[in-house]
Amino acid sequence: MYRRRLSLTVISAAVVLLLTGCPSYPEVHGKPGAAGVRDPLFGTLGNGGYDVSSYSLVLDYDPPTGRLSGTADVFARATQDLSAFNLDLHGLAIESVMVNNRKAVFDRVGDEVTVHMDKHVAKGAPVRALVRYAGSPRTITDADGSKEGWLRTVDGALAVGEPTGSMTWFPGNHHPSDKATYDVKITVPKGLQAISNGVLHDRYPTGDRTTFFWKSADAMPSYAAMLAIGRYNMTSSAVPRTGQPVVTAVAPSVAKESAEVLARIPEVMNWAAKKFGRYPFGAFGAIVVPKGQLDYALETQTRPVFPIDHLDEDTLVHEVAHQWYGNSVTLKTWKDMWLNEGFATYAEWLWNEDYNNTSAQERFEAAFALDANWEFAPADPPSAAQVSDAPVYERGAMVLHKVRQALGDKTFFRILPLWAQTHLHRNASTADFTAYVEKMSGKDLDPLWDTWLYGNEKPKSP
């Protein structure tokens, strides 16, 4: 009986299909997604209307000419009924865009590429954009004068993206609130290495060139994506106890000079896991480049970049701590930068307390005395040019030290890893942090936040 009823249903469905043709979906009348996510410091960064889950980049780089060509396969979901959406891309020329396997029309004003869809997409439905592009990627000079984005080197290139530079080498939703996984296939001349984030999934010859295939299976903010192309000495080892692969790539000219600090990676990782909880990613490593290629070290996810003149014990601790605070728990907007830098700076203070006989209290008092730390409140950098200034780093660390004093060591060192664990691979804001600390400790800390986190007035005493 069951079978007979089923056949009748199938037959009637077939009859309906014959009569009406293919089933049609209700037509969606969407609206364009916004050209930015209204970041208080970087208003046009990122885009509204969709949320990216993964980027699959297939790239080819020719160092002598500086030409990069590639395709970006961007998998996203619409967060509204969508008729058009923007991608952020700096400099490179777009050859074509396909959306959900249909050719799409696009136009462009500066770094904003608007992609129009003839078939609109309903909220929640997939949006897959396949973008072909090429050109000579550019370097961006930030409001504070530092260089980021694509940096050409003697034998290759280095790509670092905080805060806006990743749009120099691939199109996407370049705001940290939209984290995604990444597959990066990059083909370079034989004899050169090409290193990106995550795990080296494959490496194979492509004609007389070499293709490297890197996979980042954990969500990453686009500013933490990196590429290093050139001659590097490669080493592989493993994170102590948990066993994730550790890949280091060191420019040959600085190999000897960097050996001592790099040898401390296992010790630092061990210490960090004790303080901050289990290491949040499937790989680690480091890139060391010669002096002059970059003016700062950067915590690029799973594989921080160090110019040799910035490679020291404190900076290693700082960039390792960022894997928890910044890369796994990522800021919601750039105003929350102290959640990255205050934590990484406080990690240095904690390391020196444990290893070098300098207490966090001493570091706190020294930071308190510095006028530069009182130029603005750490939770409120007034402009994009000040997002990496002293108050974000040192006064951010001072906030954590005050929290430690208010809660006591036992509660503070319980909350420190729990904050990372609770927000694993997600985003958090300053308000999320203060609410979390108050909830976990059961204390009202408003006076502390008002003075140390949001306040501009230097208190009379530390």
Using CB under 5 A, which of the segments 97-105, 130-138, 235-243, 343-351 binds Zn ion? 343-351
Using CB under 5 A, which of the segments 133-141, 187-195, 336-344, 354-362 binds Zn ion? 336-344
Cβ within 8 Å of residue 243, ≥6 positions away: none
Between 138 and 335, whose beta carbon lies closer to Zn ion? 335
Between 88 and 341, whose beta carbon lies closer to Zn ion? 341
CB of 321 to Zn ion, least distance (A): 8
Residue 88 has which token pair? 């952020």
Instruction: Of 126, 164, 171, give the one whose Cα is nearest residue 142.
Output: 164
Angle at 434 between CA 37 and CA 454, to 5 degrees: 75
Between 151 and 331, whose beta carbon lies closer to Zn ion? 331
Between 169 and 338, whose beta carbon lies closer to Zn ion? 338
Is residue 227 close enough to count as binding Zn ion by CB under 5 A?
no
Between 82 and 344, whose beta carbon lies closer to Zn ion? 344
Is residue 195 close enough to count as binding Zn ion by CB under 5 A?
no
Report the alpha-carbon distance of residue 74 to residue 415 in Å, rounded: 36
Phi, psi torsion values for 48, nearest 5 degrees:
-95, 170
Burial call 19-51: b when 16+ CB within 10 Å, e when fewer: eeeeeeeeebebebbebbbebebbebbbbbbbe
Instruction: Of 49, 46, 68, 207, give the one whose Cα is nearest residue 132.
Output: 68
Cβ within 8 Å of residue 423, ≥6 positions away: 328, 329, 432
Is residue 320 close enough to count as binding Zn ion by CB under 5 A?
no
Of the candidate residues 140, 265, 344, 416, the single one contacting Zn ion (CB under 5 A): 344
Between 156 and 285, whose beta carbon lies closer to Zn ion? 285
CB of 183 to Zn ion, least distance (A): 26
Report the alpha-carbon distance of residue 30 to residue 50 in Å, rounded: 12
Helix segments in 287-359, DSSP class H: 313-324, 337-355
Residue 291 has which token pair? 């002096």
Name the burial class of residue 456, with classes exposed (0-12), middle (13-18) and buried (19+) by CB atoms within 10 angstroms of its CB: exposed
CB of 322 to Zn ion, least distance (A): 5
Is residue 225 close enough to count as binding Zn ion by CB under 5 A?
no
CB of 427 to Zn ion, least distance (A): 17
CB of 162 to Zn ion, least distance (A): 9
Using CB under 5 A, which of the segments 82-90, 257-265, 339-347, 377-385 binds Zn ion? 339-347
Between 254 and 344, whose beta carbon lies closer to Zn ion? 344
Residues interacting with Zn ion, by CB under 5 A? 341, 344
